[in-house]
Structure 1
Amino acid sequence: MKNFLFILFLFPLLTSCQTEKAVVSKYSAHVGDITFDEKIDDPKFKRCLSEDFGIQYYNDSQGFQYKGEKISIEEKLKSLNIEGDKKLKGYITVRFLVNCDGKSGLFRVQQMNQEYKETDADKELTDQLLIFTKNLNGWIPKKLDGKKVDYYQYLTYKIENGKVSEILP
């Protein structure tokens, strides 16, 4: 009888001791996080902080931080005379991370038409603007509570008649 009671008592304990499977999320820790992709990202680009931490460029009072301000970027772009299909109108956004050394990496591109619907109407123009953005080297590191941090930045190129008419933000 003792053995029977012992087994009866032990059985619920044994059946409840199951190992839990680790749940791996396909979603980022925060909306808009960019995770390293070995197929498209430069392995030499390093974050300064944890991969789970990056602030948005607008999360501090400094705002947009580039040597010579946005006008410097506009002048560089104008001197290159980059253009695409004359009928093209819409937006090309290049989003990336700037690390605590002011170096940029983890570039992601999205092209939209005038109705803000995703498109890939002009790959050549998109590639030219991506290369242009990758070559910008005047990003100023940001500080949060006195410590340099990585931050997300984006440039949206407004396209009218195949040419950049404006750079946002």
Structure 2
Amino acid sequence: MNAQKLENTYLNNVGDIQFDPKIDDPEFKICNPDTSFQYYNFSKGFQYTGEKYQIQKEWNEKYPAIISKLKETGYITVRFLVNCDGKTGLFRIQEMDKNYIKISFSQDFVNTILKFIKELDGWVINEYNGQKVDYFQYLTFKIENGVVKEILP
């Protein structure tokens, strides 16, 4: 089923991401629209090959010197769905300062982070009862004075 067909009035579970035709890729495949999992529902924990270490390593290799021109401090969290093929979509961004109050980072900086996440290709394909399933994942970028200091969780 493609993502565009998921326009429901009510979501199945709290935290589900509903397709938004203004920002989501209509070709992104959602395998099980009636069942949602979170990355922590699986025994392996973090759902990326090489785990958090590998993501941080890839960031440092691709963007070793990227600095937000505005020198902001805070967090950028990107939540998204990993489908049954290990592909990602339905990206949602939340930006906040070090006191967890909503702010806006420079758009170029946010776009660089989103581009990086979209390029990650080591997401684990998970199964439940012998069937490949979709799951929600998030990455939070901890930023100090415009520099990514850590990628969480």
**When the two structures are superposed, what TM-score results if normalisation uses the length of structure 2?**
0.88
Where 1:156 maps in the other structure, the secondary structure is: strand
Mapped contact 1:158–1:167 kept (Cα < 8 A): yes
Deviation, 1:27, is 4.5
Structure-1 residue corresponding to 2:17: 34
Deviations 1:9-49 (A, max 9, x none): xxxxxxxxxxxxxxxx8542211110111111111111111
Inter-partner Cα distance in structure 2 for 1:83 and 1:28: 37
Mapped contact 1:86–1:163 kept (Cα < 8 A): no
**1:110 and 2:84 are equivalent in the alignment:** no
What is the identity, as a one-letter code, of the residue corresponding to 1:54? S
Please give the root-mean-square deviation of Cα atoms over the aligned residues, in Å.
1.5
Structure-1 residue corresponding to 2:151: 167
Structure-1 residue corresponding to 2:109: 125
Deviation, 1:59, is 1.1
**1:135 and 2:119 are equivalent in the alignment:** yes
Where 1:126 maps in the other structure, the secondary structure is: helix
Structure-2 residue corresponding to 1:64: 46
Share of identical aligned residues, percent?
A: 53
Runs (4+) of structure 1 exceeding 4 A deviation are none
Query: Which of these two proteins has the greater Rg computed from alpha carbons?
Result: 1
**When the two structures are superposed, what TM-score results if normalisation uses the length of structure 1?**
0.80
17, 21, 45: which one pairs with 2:28? 45
Structure-1 residue corresponding to 2:67: 83
Q: Please, which runs of 5 or more residues in structure 2 have no aligned partner?
A: 1-7
Deviation, 1:147, is 1.8
Structure 1, 101-110 or 136-145: larger mean CA deviation: 136-145
Q: Please, which runs of 5 or more residues in structure 1 have no aligned partner?
A: 1-24
What is the identity, as a one-letter code, of the residue corresponding to 1:145? N
Inter-partner Cα distance in structure 1 for 2:50 and 2:124: 10
